Chains A and B, each alone.
Chain A
Amino acid sequence: MLRRKLGMVAVVSLAGALICVNAQAADKELIIGVSDALTGPGAVYGLPQANAVQMAADEINANGGIKTGGDAYKLRVISNDDKANPTEATNSVRKLIDRDGVKYLLGFCCSGSTSAVASFIGRENVAMLVGNAAERAITAQGIPNLFRTRPPADFTGSAAGVFVAKRGVKTIAVIGSLDVGFYTQYLEAFEREFVKAGGKILAKETFGLKDRDMTPQLTKVRALNPEALLVLGYVEPCAFVYRQATELGMKMPRYGFTSGSEEQFLRVASSEQMEGVWDLRPTELTVEALNANAKTYVASYTKKFGAPPSPSSPYAYDQMYVLKHAIERAGSADDPKKVIAEIRKGGVPREAVMKYLPVGGAMFDVNGQAYTSNGAFQWQKGKWVYVADLPSDPAAYSEFLRSLRK
């Protein structure tokens, strides 16, 4: 009888202990901070990025969390709206670090706000992974705890210049947000290659982020009779440029650098007005150019959020998996320094959606910069069609980026 009682006590104790261990593992929570443009003009990039991080976190949690040693971290994502504004972004990140105790920051779609955070993040014991923000200076400073999944704008610009010149274009007019650094950098790189190949830029017209009537600039450009048009800027103003160019009867080929989805363009311009437009950008989310992960990503995102993902959103999705594997290799999420060292050494995670071009075997180079392939896309019958790869040299660009460091 006594033996039976003791046996039962032992069983109950063991079960209790197991429950405690499980509860302990389940109770370990890791907060991931996201700072991104959830409203305003940058939201076309920022909101899909925040969604992508949430989706990746949900997937990881559904598979038991991030497992390190005996622990399993369940992820909780806190997303703050920085409105693509430098002051808002600084406040948002300060709140995440100081109030919420966040050690891992993801998101960051827009260059102005991201640069503001980059200016102080090197002094913090956190890891920051930047997504869509393309300003070169973000990774040109050698900030040890900052990494970026999207290549800088000029890495793509030079490949685009070669592509347009090879298509036989001799004269081109540019219209874009030329007061925004990364568009200027894209244009500088484009111009260098285009002029080297014998091309000439006839005009450089600018528009503001909130401008929607670009007919004066387009009329001026039309009078110069260029062989092609190059449009650089956020999706919404660029969609107006494409629409208004057709309304002004401009029939020359139109090249652009926008990374907008079909849905985003179709809110402004009709498919007929978009027909034939080229987008020369990182390959990003192009299912036919990527592996099976891309197809799964599109299906899962569409099911979860009721709309297809934007082309640049996987930059943020991939950040989450970079972090997951780095924490697993580091053995703990408690010390960001160890995790940062693992991010620096690590290869491309198997769950990654984008097609990365590793430098020296690692996903991130010495500057904390990752590179993806670039592609030429054309609007054909209502959708972007991947037409060709734009040859790019990440190792050479990495050296160039390193040389800019003060």
Chain B
Amino acid sequence: MFVELVQQMLNGLAIGSVYTLIALGLTVVFGILGIAHFAHGSVAMSGGYLTFLFTERLGLSFFPAMALAMLAGAILGLLIERLAYRPVRDAPHINAFIIALGLTMMIEGINLIAFGADQVVIQTPYRGVFNVGGVVVAELRLQVILTTGVLIGVIAYLISRTKTGKSIRAVAQNRPAAVLMGVNVNQVSAVVFSVSSALGVAAGALVGALLAIAPGVGEGLAVKGFAVLILGGLGSIPGAIVGGLVLGISESLAAGFISSAYKDVIAFLVMIFVLLFRPEGLLGKR
């Protein structure tokens, strides 16, 4: 029973890592710019497809291909911010909301035309299996968890230890005051979108290697990402990390110990239960 419990938690940790990366991208955009970026899931899928393309066509191995795709994702993020969101930054929120929905449809459509409707699985050389006291971990899952850990570390460093990070925090806390202090809000906005999109692309690449990419998967990821955002606390980076892992592990435990047919329902019940007692989310500010 104990081994099964640990195994289920480990299973959930891998998928929870992907949710965390998606939610991190969403939370930096929402927390700093106040935009519900629904197209984030589709951006993640584009990243998965790009990584697949780089591995298959350029012959790159998985991580270099993912890094290249993250770079492309960062450029895509810049374009999205400059062409889609910046023009409506001072307009009513509904404008950004409609633009987000339009972007989702557009990116999904481009993915479909460019990569087709069939599922894509990114091949990796990580096929080893480690067995520790009956608990088995696949090498690929371990790579997913470690990669997420590294990316979280990079984001934490960027936000807390760099001048750009200081500007981002200043805009998040009080935008008018940050402007008065000479912070370039346009630059912050561009950096936030490129970082967010690069994180999304990383999540898409990991999903493509761990599971598969296909049309419609992006929407599911965006839904899970927003669920994590609410569970962890809107705009909270530590909340996104904890929320992602809680959702992934809840799903796994629900499927393993209650019923696989209701794993999504049970995971969302956990979310509702948490919000009943902490409406601001696990680590959100009151």
- A residues sitting closer than 8 Å to B (CB atoms) are 39-41, 43, 179, 205-207, 210, 212-213, 215-217, 219-220, 222-223, 236, 240, 244, 246-249, 267-268, 270, 272-273
User: Are A213 and B136 interface neighbours, CB within 8 A?
Assistant: no
CB distance from A112 to the nearest CB of B (A): 17
Instruction: Bits for B122-154, please: 1 = Cβ < 8 Å to A, else 0.
Output: 000001010100001010110000000000000
User: Are B129 and A249 interface neighbours, CB within 8 A?
Assistant: yes
Residues of A within 8 A of B4 (CB): 219-220, 222-223
Which segment of B194-202, B252-260, B268-276 sits at the interface?
B252-260
User: Are A212 and B136 interface neighbours, CB within 8 A?
Assistant: no
Contacts known (A248-B136, A249-B136); A213 close to B211, Cβ less than 8 A: yes
Most chain-A CB neighbours within 10 Å: which of B3, B211, B254? B211
User: Are A246 and B256 interface neighbours, CB within 8 A?
Assistant: no
CB distance from B128 to the nearest CB of A (A): 9
Partner of B256, one of A212, A216, A268: A216
CB distance from A79 to the nearest CB of B (A): 15
Partner of A216, one of B3, B121, B260: B260
**Cα separation A39 to B214 with both chains bound (whole Å):** 11
CB distance from A382 to the nearest CB of B (A): 15
User: Are A268 and B11 interface neighbours, CB within 8 A?
Assistant: no
User: Are A217 and B256 interface neighbours, CB within 8 A?
Assistant: yes
Query: Size band of the B side of the interface?
Result: 35 or more
Partner of A236, one of B116, B119, B136, B138: B119
User: Are B121 and A220 interface neighbours, CB within 8 A?
Assistant: no
User: Are A179 and B252 interface neighbours, CB within 8 A?
Assistant: no
Contacts known (A212-B212, A216-B11, A240-B211); A206 close to B121, Cβ less than 8 A: no
User: Are A219 and B7 interface neighbours, CB within 8 A?
Assistant: yes
**Cα separation A206 to B115 with both chains bound (whole Å):** 30
User: Are B138 and A247 interface neighbours, CB within 8 A?
Assistant: yes
Q: Which 4 A-B pairs have the closest CB atoms?
A: A216-B255, A39-B117, A212-B211, A247-B138
User: Are B211 and A267 interface neighbours, CB within 8 A?
Assistant: no
**Cα separation A223 to B11 with both chains bound (whole Å):** 14
Residues of B within 8 A of A272 (CB): 127
**Cα separation A222 to B5 with both chains bound (whole Å):** 12
CB distance from A310 to the nearest CB of B (A): 13
Residues of A within 8 A of B212 (CB): 212, 236, 240, 268
Nearest A residue to B136, CB-CB: A249
CB distance from B208 to the nearest CB of A (A): 10
Most chain-B CB neighbours within 10 Å: which of A244, A246, A249? A249
Contacts known (A43-B118, A220-B4); A215 close to B131, Cβ less than 8 A: no
User: Are B211 and A247 interface neighbours, CB within 8 A?
Assistant: no
Partner of B11, one of A40, A205, A212, A215: A215
Residues of A within 8 A of B116 (CB): 39
Residues of B within 8 A of A41 (CB): 119, 214
**Cα separation A210 to B140 with both chains bound (whole Å):** 21
User: Are B121 and A268 interface neighbours, CB within 8 A?
Assistant: yes
CB distance from B249 to the nearest CB of A (A): 10
Give the A-B contact count at a CB cut-off of 8 A: 78
Residues of B within 8 A of A223 (CB): 1, 3-4
CB distance from B185 to the nearest CB of A (A): 40
Nearest A residue to B253, CB-CB: A216
Residues of A within 8 A of B42 (CB): none
CB distance from A198 to the nearest CB of B (A): 28
Residues of A within 8 A of B23 (CB): none
CB distance from A258 to the nearest CB of B (A): 15
Residues of B within 8 A of A240 (CB): 211-212
Residues of B within 8 A of A247 (CB): 129, 136, 138, 140-141
Nearest A residue to B15, CB-CB: A213
Contact residues, B1-30 vs A (CB, 8 A): 1, 3-4, 7-8, 11-12, 15
16 of the cross-chain contacts (CB-CB < 8 Å) are A179-B261, A210-B216, A210-B217, A212-B212, A216-B251, A217-B256, A219-B4, A219-B11, A219-B256, A223-B1, A223-B3, A223-B4, A240-B211, A247-B141, A249-B129, A273-B127
Partner of B8, one of A179, A207, A210, A216: A216
- In the assembled complex, B278 has its CB within 8 A of some CB on chain A: no
Residues of A within 8 A of B253 (CB): 216
Nearest B residue to A223, CB-CB: B4
Residues of B within 8 A of A215 (CB): 11, 252
Instruction: Bits for B84-120, please: 1 = Cβ < 8 Å to A, else 0.
Output: 0000000000000000000000000000000011110
Nearest B residue to A179, CB-CB: B261
**Cα separation A334 to B114 with both chains bound (whole Å):** 43
CB distance from A384 to the nearest CB of B (A): 20
CB distance from B141 to the nearest CB of A (A): 8
**Cα separation A191 to B127 with both chains bound (whole Å):** 34
Residues of B within 8 A of A205 (CB): 260
Residues of B within 8 A of A207 (CB): 260
Residues of A within 8 A of B255 (CB): 216-217, 220
Contact residues, B212-270 vs A (CB, 8 A): 212, 214, 216-217, 251-257, 260-261, 263
CB distance from B4 to the nearest CB of A (A): 5
**Cα separation A223 to B256 with both chains bound (whole Å):** 10
User: Are B8 and A206 interface neighbours, CB within 8 A?
Assistant: no
Most chain-A CB neighbours within 10 Å: which of B12, B253, B260? B260
Residues of A within 8 A of B140 (CB): 247
**Cα separation A216 to B118 with both chains bound (whole Å):** 25
**Cα separation A273 to B253 with both chains bound (whole Å):** 25
Nearest A residue to B251, CB-CB: A216
**Cα separation A43 to B256 with both chains bound (whole Å):** 30
Nearest A residue to B210, CB-CB: A213
